[in-house]
Copies of this chain bind each other. A is one copy, B any other.
């Protein structure tokens, strides 16, 4: 394992450990910080200016020094004045991470893209990838034994590595005779599942690469991994290009049903997106050894998409079907049967995916029509089936997927959260992008609001109005807001606004005659209007949280339990959710706050686990068959439970862990 250093980006606060020696630009890409670059890191556009902060930062426990960013490069002089250089300015593509550093990304260098937070977490995975490299030295044929090339190779693979009964992919076979003679019979064979040879490389190679893909309804992420060291070499993400066909899975299915070539188009888009993720992951990614001969435009050795030997994919059932060109029509109507549950190994070339041409793509299994391979990914990453404690896992994307259980039993269900948690159908909702409110606090006494937006480190109260440039609210801001509104009595348990308000932020909209509450005044925004939350917005959030809460309750009832030991919140925005706020708003039944954890993009972690460990694939197939799917809508009492859950009915006795966080007065109010 190479040496690592901490890097923290301001103002976003994103941080992580990265390999020493990579550029700050590369580190920003790995951590999902968007720094502007036009030339792609080739030192010619000068857009990626950053400032290295000098000093010891107690809050983070790091000592950032200018020289930790490596030697000054000649090219930087073209874009950075000597005064700026004095201040610590560098080009992100030139400066390297050579020790812990705190990097400030000035506004002008920030790319305006959505902040996709799908960075890979450290989860323990045992090494046993589906694709492994085997080095052999194959003897030449003789007149006495003029044995075929393949047979001589297979003999060596048996003799040296005990690999019996190997097949070879047809395309790989085509390359064999020449590869075998390039270095006098010395070759490395890439073998899939100890069954099939999928690449012949001349000479001895040790590092191989695979990529795990998470196809979310809204965002897609790819984790390029070294299959030997198991390191995540690079993380890249992008919007799912299918978004243009509709925000949620049902609208995508509808697009297919109402357009003759709908499926074909959406499929082509997603395949193109995967190919572009792969290409971006490989771009300027340098393999650690010199045997790899591909070079980039400047002649440096770099990875090519065809060097990727394996791919795993997770996604919800609809994404899974569209990705595989499988008709999603039937899974969209009751009783919602998917085309296929079990995991699939498909030749990348049959899907149009451009990696090593003989490679397989492993698509994880689906549980049910609305609990897909993404949830299976969450399960194999979190492994509730190996624990005694009763876990509740909530994976909130555009659709909510719930799992409850432990090693004895697992049940799953899905609930129609709708897109409210992602900012859609909310008057001033937006995606997690610069300018979106991601944190909100309300003062209990005055009902004054403080908040921070993505892309700006300083909170409202520490900024001038015009510095905020606020655009709207994203999911985590909505969570915060709803909890705070309830906690301090701005809204009542029913969700209606409290007629007794303490600030001038509460008002009736003159046009709609609807009550609303101002979060940001016009002068703080970049849109020139007050950003408000309306009574209707609150209803939408109630519908979403009610769906999750009632789902949890029904599952617990079915399981015969009245409390859970652990709550895990997964999803693209899982990393941002404040556990306390989620508990206050009543997203799920009571739980000890320190046992509510955000597990981030656990689905992606599961894809990575399946990439690096083949037993995880079996585990995924096993778990997909052994999770009992509960169709909530046919549960007795469903309607009643759902309506109840719309309210915020926390009683101090049913939510003991809210004591001291929310006042007894609020909790016990009727």
Contacts and interface: CB of A to CB of B under 8 A. Distances in A.
Interface in A308-362: 324-327, 329-330, 334-342, 344, 346-347, 350-351
A149 B337 contact: yes
A146 B340 contact: no
Contacts of A335: 141-143, 146
Contacts of A327: 174, 177-178
Given A170-B344, A174-B324, A178-B327, A143 B339 contact: no
Interface string A489-525: 0000000000000000000000000000000000000
A621 B335 CA distance: 48
B150 A350 contact: no
Q: What size tier do the contact residues of chain A reach?
A: 35 or more
A142 B338 CA distance: 12
Interface in A518-553: none
A323 to B, nearest CB: 12
A151 interface: yes
A146 B341 contact: no
Contacts of A176: 326, 339-340
Contact of A173 (B141, B146, B326): B326
Contacts of A368: 146
Contacts of A350: 170-171
A334 B176 CA distance: 18
Interface string A172-200: 01101110010000000000000000000
A178 B340 CA distance: 13
A191 to B, nearest CB: 17
A339 B631 contact: no
Contacts of A340: 148-151, 173, 176
Given A173-B339, A177-B330, A326-B173, A634 B148 contact: no
A146 B326 contact: no
Contacts of A339: 148-150, 173, 176-177
28 contacts: A142-B335, A143-B334, A146-B335, A146-B336, A146-B337, A146-B369, A146-B629, A147-B341, A148-B338, A148-B342, A149-B337, A150-B339, A151-B341, A151-B342, A170-B346, A170-B347, A170-B350, A173-B324, A173-B340, A173-B344, A174-B324, A174-B325, A176-B326, A177-B326, A177-B330, A177-B339, A178-B327, A181-B330
